[in-house]
Structure 1
C-alpha cells in the first residue's frame, strides 16, 4: 500500500471507491485491507476531536445491501476493535439511522460509519461518517485520509468488543411514534394509517424495513410493495428516485394496486420520493412545495433553502402563496444543509433545507438528510387530509409547474476543467448581460442563472460546473411548448466557440 492514492477515495464529504471487479476499466481500490485502515483512521480522528482515548470510544457500523458490504463492514470493525473501541455491528441499516445512533439514549455512540455508495453501480462502495454533531464535512474526510496514509497507529493492549445490535428497529419505532403523535387519530390512535393502502419500493436497497417496521404497525395496507428484499445486484431497477425507470416502476405499482400513496427510497434511505394516488410523481419541485407548505404552516415566514435548479414556480409558491422566504443556494446536499444552519445561527429562522434530488433535512430532525423522516412527514399529512376528506396534494394546488424541463450534461475535455469551466461561465454572464430579453438572476450562488423573458422562451436556464466531475450541467425550463429548444438553440450558437466543451447533448 506504499504507493496507494488515498486522496482518490474522497468524494466531497464521503468516501467512494471501486469494491468489486466486473466493470471494464474500473480497477478495485476499496479493498478490505484499505477499509481496515480507514476504520483505524476514523478512530484516530475521533479520538483527537473528542480528546478521548480510543479505548473509551463507542462506535457503530452499518451497511446497505451492496454485495461488498458485509466484507467491508467486517474490515472496518476489525480496525476499530484493534484500536480498543467498543463497536456495535448494526448489520443492514440506513444512513440516517447511523447518525441517530449517536444521539439515542442507550446507544450514545461517539461516532458512526455507514458502508454505502448510495445509488452508484453494484461494483462501487464507500463510507459516510457521523458524530453527534452530524455528518462529517469535506475537510474532515481529508484529515481521515491523511491519517490513513500515514498509518501511525498502535494496537491496543486489549482489543475492543464487538456486539451485534438491532438498531433499525429502534429507529423505525421512533418513526411510528412520530406518526401516531402527528396524526392523533380520534378513533385509531395506534393505527392512524388504517384504511390507507401504501406501497413501498425499496429497489432492493436497505429501505425494505419501512413497510414491515413502520407502515404495518400503523395499520397501513402495504399490498403491492415491491423489491423490499436486499439484493446488491439491484436486479429490478437502480435504487434511485431520480432514475426514470425506478419512478415509472413505483408509479405503475400505485396505479395497478389502486394505492393511496407510493414511496420509493434510494439504496441507503437518505433520499426518498413519493407518488400520489393518481400515479403522479411527487419528486423534484413537488415534494419541496409539499413539505414547505407543512413547515410554513408551523413556522410562518421561515426561510426554505433549496438547491440552485428549483423552478420559478416554486419560488412564487413559497413566497406568494405560503408567505415564506425562498433562498436558492448551491447544489450539493451538504451545501444546502450548511446554508440553512448558517442562516439559523445568524438569527434568520430556517426549518427546511432540501434539494431537488430528494435530499431533505429539517431543523426539528437534527438537519439530517433523512428520506424516511421526510416521507413520514408526508404520511402524517396524508392521514390528516384523509380524516378531513381531502387530498394531500390539495396543499400544492397553486404550484405552477413548467411546461418543459431538461438537463443537458456538457463534458469538458481539458485537464484543468474547473478553470476552463469558470471561463465559460464568466463569458456567458457577459453575453447574457447584453441581451435585452435575458436577465441575470440575483442573488445567485453558483454558475450563471438567467431568466428568459421573451414570449417564445418564457423560462430560465442555469449553467454551472459539476461539484466533482469534468461536466457542465445545463438546466433549462420553460413555461411554453418549444421554449426549451428555443433557449438551447440560442445558447448553442454562443457556446460553439468553446472547443473543449462537448455540445453533442444540445445538438
Structure 2
C-alpha cells in the first residue's frame, strides 16, 4: 500500500476479510482501476501471494496474465528511485467497507435474473466455508429468501479442519454429516478459502449426494444450456474431465471443448473462442472454478452456487443431472518427484515410454483431442488415464477413470510396469499411491 501510494495511486484497504471475486468485481466498477487480493487460496500460508485484477474494456475486469506479472517482477528489480521534489505527497490509504457493495451486487443480479425478490424463499441451505472467507456471502442467500445454516463460518487462518477445498473428500464428508444431523437440508454449498471455487451437496430423498468435479460441470452445463437454447453453444473445460461428461453436454444441447488444466487457461480459451464468434456461455474446471460469460468470465464460486440454488428452488431438485453416469472408478494419483530429480525430464522419459508401449496394448488408444500431457482411452473407450505434470508442484499426476475398480487397478499396474522399466531401476518417484490407491485419509 505504501509503494502504490508513493507513486500517486489512491489506495483503499478493504476493511474486513473478503473473497477474491469481490476484488474482481471492484475492478468492474468505475471507482477502481485495479484490485489486489492477498491469498494462498486453498494452499498453506507459506504460499500467500497476490491475485491482481485490472479494468478491461471488453470483459469489465480480468486477472493479470503470466507475462504481465513477469514484466512487473523484472521492472521491480530495477532501482528507479524518483527524486522529483515537485510531486505532491502521496494520499494516505483509506479503509473502506467494500463487502456490502459486493453483497448488494449479487443480490440485485439474481433478483434481475429470476424476476423475483426472493428467488430462494424457504430453501434450506447449508453454507460450509471451512473457516475461510466465504462466510461473507451468507447475507446474500438470506436476503434472497433462503434459510441459511452456517458450518465452520468463523474465519481462522490455521484452518483447524484442513484448508477449505470443494475437491477435498474430508470437507465433503464433514458437510454431508452436518446435513444429516440438521435434516431437511435442500442444498449445501462448499466454498474454498478465498471464495472463487465451489462444490455442492444435493438432497437425494433421505440421503445426500456430492456434486463436484465432473458432476458440478454437468449441473452448470444443464442449467446454462437450458437457458441458452443454442445447440451450437460450447462448454470449455480442463483436460481431465470424464468421458461421460462429453456425452452429457451433448444431450443437454451443447458441445464440450477440452482444453488445458488451470482455470485461467480454461477461461482464456473461452474468451478466445468467444472473440471469433463462438457461443461459449461457460468455462469450468474440475477444481470448481466456474466462469460464466454473463458474469464477465469471473470465476466466482458464489455466483455458481447462487445459479445452482435458484435452479434447485425452481425445480424442487427434480430432473437435476439425473442421466449423468458416474464412472465406476475415478481417482487422481500423485507421484511425488524427489528433490534430486527434474520433474520435466522424468515426465518426458515416462511419456516417451508410454507412447511407445501403448500402441501394442489391446484396448488402448491415444486421445486425438487432448491438449496436454498424455491421455489414453482404455477398455475400448469405457475408461481413460491421463498423465501430466502439476502446474506448480514437483508432482507427476495420473488421472484415471474406469468402469470398475478392478479395471482401474489393471491399468495402474500396467502403467507402473512401464514407468519402472523406463526409469531403469532408478527410484525418483514415490509409488505408494500407484500401488494401493491411498486416499487423503490414508485408506
Compute the TM-score of the two structures, normalised by the length of structure 1: 0.79
User: How far is the alpha carbon of 1:383 from its aligned partner?
Assistant: 1.8
Aligned counterparts, 1:77-226, within 5 A:
77-91=1-15, 92-105=17-30, 107=31, 109-133=32-56, 134-154=62-82, 156-184=87-115, 189-211=116-138, 213-223=139-149, 225-226=150-151
Could you tell me whether the CA contact under 8 Å between 1:183 and 1:383 is conserved in 2?
Answer: no
Pick the aligned partner of 1:377 from 307, 320, 325.
307
The answer to whether the 8 Å contact 2:353/2:419 transfers is no
Tell me what 1:318 maps to.
Answer: 249
Task: After TM superposition, give the deviation of residue 123 of structure 1 in Å.
Answer: 4.3
Give the whole-Å Cα distance in 2 for the aligned partners of 1:412 and 1:232: 29
Q: Which residue of 2 aligns with 1:304?
A: 235
RMSD: 1.7
CA distance in 1, matches of 2:269, 2:40: 24
Taking the aligned partners of 1:197 and 1:415, their CA distance within structure 2 comes to 51
The 1:347–1:422 alpha-carbon spacing in structure 2 relative to 1, beyond 3 Å, is farther
What's the counterpart of residue 286 of structure 2? 356
Secondary structure in 1 matching 2:48: strand
Distance change (3 Å), C-alpha of 1:350 and 1:426: farther
Unaligned runs of 5+ in 2: 57-61, 436-443
For the residues of structure 1 that align with 2:156 and 2:355, how far apart are their CA atoms?
A: 47
Tell me if 1:418 matches 2:344. Answer: yes
TM-score normalized by the length of structure 2: 0.89
- Partner residue of 1:475 out of 399, 418, 435: 399
Match of 1:246, SS? helix
Equivalent pair of 1:197/1:222 in contact (CA under 8 Å)? yes
Contact 2:24 2:53 in 1 (8 A): yes
Distance 1:146 1:415 in 2: 28
Residues in 2 aligned to 1:461 and 1:353: alpha-carbon distance in whole angstroms = 23
Matching residue of 2:298: 368
Once residues 262 and 79 of structure 1 are traced to their aligned partners in structure 2, the CA distance between those partners, rounded to angstroms, is 42
Q: Which runs of 5+ in 1 are unaligned?
A: 1-76
Aligned equivalents of 1:471 and 1:122: distance in 2?
20
User: Cα deviation per residue 1:465-497 (whole Å; 9 max; x = unaligned)?
Assistant: 112222210011111241211111111111112
In the TM superposition, residue 442 of structure 1 has moved relative to its aligned partner by: 1.2
Q: Is the 8 A contact 1:84 1:161 kept in 2?
A: no
Structure 2 equivalent of residue 496 of structure 1: 420
Which residue number corresponds to residue 403 of structure 1?
328
Alignment deviations for residues 114-166 of structure 1 (CA, whole Å, 9 cap, x no partner): 01110112444211100013001111111111122224243754112322222
Distance in 1 (CA, whole Å) between partners of 2:80 and 2:373 is 41
- Match of residue 485, structure 1, among 373, 391, 409: 409
Contact 1:441 1:451 in 2 (8 A): yes
Instruction: Give the 3-state SS of the residue equivalent to 2:268 in structure 1.
Output: helix
Q: Secondary structure at the match of 1:353?
A: strand
CA distance in 2, matches of 1:383, 1:151: 57
Query: Could you report, residue by residue, the CA deviation over 1:426-485 in whole angstroms, capped at 9, with x for unpaired residues?
Result: 33122212223111111111111111125xx94110011112222210011111241211
| Counterpart Cα distance in 2 of 1:191 and 1:408 | 43
Asked if the contact 1:183/1:384 (under 8 Å) is kept, the reply is: no
Report Cα offsets for 1:77-130 as digits up to 9, x if no partner: 12211222111111322111101111124x2x1111001110112444211100
Measure the CA separation in 1 of the matches of 2:92 and 2:314. Answer: 46
The answer as to whether partners of 1:80 and 1:160 remain within 8 angstroms in 2 is no
2-structure distance, mates of 1:233, 1:476: 32
